[in-house]
Amino acid sequence: MSQEEIDVNDDGIVNQKELEIYEQRAKNRRRMAWVSLAAMIVTAGALMFFVPDERLAKLDGLLELYWIALGGVVGAYVGISAWTKRG
């Protein structure tokens, strides 16, 4: 992450407050990815052991969107993290 992207007020100087804001945003993104991954795992377990097959057939379209959305959050976090650490 470059200094220009962390500098919120565009004064050319990254102070402690701006660094804390950046670190908090990074922590929130990381939490969002972990919660999304945990939700995918918990949902898969619940669907395998507690939901009858008849109900799964009715939830098919909704579950597809659910998996795509949560997978997108996790994938975006991993991809962007790798991309920003590259340079």
State residue 1's pLDDT score: 61
Q: How confident is the model at residue 15 (pLDDT cuts 50, 70, 90)?
A: confident
Q: Measure the CA angle with vertex 7, ends 4 and 9; round to 5°.
A: 125
Quick check: helix, strand or coil at residue 69? helix
Q: Write the DSSP assignment of 25-44 as a string of letters.
A: HHHHHHHHHHHHHHHHHHHH
The residue extents of the domains of the chain are 15-86
More confident residue, 28 or 1: 28
Question: What pTM, to 2 d.p., does this model score?
Answer: 0.80
Tell me the C-alpha distance between 84 and 61, whole Å.
34
Rounded to an integer, the average pLDDT of 45-57 is 93
Asked if the model's pLDDT at residue 4 lies above 80, the reply is no
